Amino acid sequence: MDFLTFLQISDTAVRFAIPLLFACLAGLFSERAGIFDIGLEGKMLAAAFFSAAIAALTGNVWIGLLAGIGASLALSIIHGLASITFRGNQLISGVAINFLAAGLTVLIAQAWFKQGGRTPSLSDFGPNARFTSITLPYADQMEDAGALGLVYSELISGHSILVYVGFLMVPLTWYILFRTRFGLRLRAVGENPAAVDTAGVSVVGLRYAAVAICGILCGMAGAYLATALQAGFVKDMSSGRGFIALAALIFAKWRPWYALWACLLFGFLQALALRPDAVERLVQIDIPGQLLDALPYILTVVILAGFVGKAIPPRAGGEPYVKER
């Protein structure tokens, strides 16, 4: 594999990693606050549809992004109601949300656009209907300026704005969780809600806040899928990315910076699966693409099994909090 091919695959890897990263950070907020969320997939899918649909109807991708975030937030509120207010099973609620999104998106898409459960291609709705790639300054000139220049022009430049926002979210998440009072409380509520309650801080309020942040980030993940990575919504387009994000979250042991590396790794695996020729040249044996597809899940199981460093979830995760009387 020559350097340029490697850069091209890395470039694709970044594109694939971004939706994972948004969803992974979304899950990070939720699970750190003690709310398990296996509904990341559904929220992403709902956001993908509504962002593409509204972008197509208004011709403005920013309104589409807002609509996507709104849809994802609505599902978050359902999850919050079920798992915080009514103290139901968070996992079952997540499963329900995934199916709700999978069904409703196709149903509404068919009712609105009559194209068999998809939105029309956003490229027909003017230049503002989707996020286009940004060429960073001097990217074209840097192309001939050695290896670093090539990295700049091929890998760093030429992504949509959401990619850069996604990368910024990592330090931001780290800062919020580990350097602010809100973050401390949020982490505490995931480990020992009774202690937070005793300190006079609302457990319910904190958990709803975490679930809402999760909704917003999932909304961005979905909007990226439908308006930046691809031009429009197709049925089931999240195709398990929410679960890969969940895997990345466990892989990263619920920490923001590790989440970035995990998502980049899983994105790279997805990108490699698209280039079997490059893989074959590199390792000299024929690796089936299905193995590359399954690798994120296999790695997660290995990590979960605790053979390579044990992944310990937040202690109060999945438990509804009942105030003592």
Partner 1 sequence: MDVMPKWADALLIPLISIAIAFVISAGVIVAIGEDPMAALNTMVTGALGSSYGWGYTLYYTTNFIFTGLAVSVAFHARMFNIGGEGQAMLGGVGVALVCLFIPFPHWSVALPVALIGGALFGAAWAAIPAYLQAKRGSHIVITTIMFNFIAGSLLVYLLVEVLKPPGAMDPATAKFAASTHLPTFQDMFSFGEKPAFRGAPANVTFFFALVSCFAVWLLIWRTRLGYAIRAYGHSEPAALYAGISPTRIIMIAMLISGGLSGMMAINTVMGEAERLVLNSVEGAGFIGIAVALMGRSHPLGVLLAALLFGFLYQGGAELSLWTNVPRELIVVIQALVILFTGALDNMVRMPLEKLFLLFRRKQPEPATTSPKPAE
Where does this chain bind partner 1 (CB under 8 A)?
A: 38, 78, 81-83, 86-93, 95-100, 102-104, 106-108, 110-111, 117, 240, 243, 246-247, 250, 288, 290-291, 293-294, 297-298, 300-301, 304-306, 313
CA distance 54 to 33: 32
Q: How far is the CB of 206 from partner 1 (least distance, A)?
A: 20
Q: How far is the CB of 85 from partner 1 (least distance, A)?
A: 8
Kindly tell me which of 143 and 293 has the beta carbon lying closer to partner 1: 293
Phi then psi for residue 143, to 5 deg, are -55, -35
Task: Provide the 10 A C-beta neighbour count for residue 193.
Answer: 24
Identify residue 1 by its one-letter amino acid code. Answer: M
Kindly tell me which of 11 and 31 has the beta carbon lying closer to partner 1: 31
Q: How far is the CB of 14 from partner 1 (least distance, A)?
A: 23
Kindly tell me which of 113 and 131 has the beta carbon lying closer to partner 1: 113
Q: How far is the CB of 320 from partner 1 (least distance, A)?
A: 9
Kindly tell me which of 143 and 236 has the beta carbon lying closer to partner 1: 236
What is the H or E stretch that residue 49 is in? helix 40-58
Q: How far is the CB of 127 from partner 1 (least distance, A)?
A: 31
What is the H or E stretch that residue 289 is in? helix 289-305
CA distance 84 to 103: 25
Nearest Cα residue to 309 out of 254, 236, 229 = 254
Pair of tokens at residue 43: 């929220």
Identify residue 181 by its one-letter amino acid code. Answer: R
Given a contact cutoff of 8 angstroms between Cβ atoms, the answer to whether 17 and 209 are in contact is no
Q: How far is the CB of 98 from partner 1 (least distance, A)?
A: 8
Kindly tell me which of 97 and 226 has the beta carbon lying closer to partner 1: 97
Pair of tokens at residue 121: 């291609």
Kindly tell me which of 51 and 90 has the beta carbon lying closer to partner 1: 90
Question: 199: number of CA atoms within 13 Å, CB side?
Answer: 13
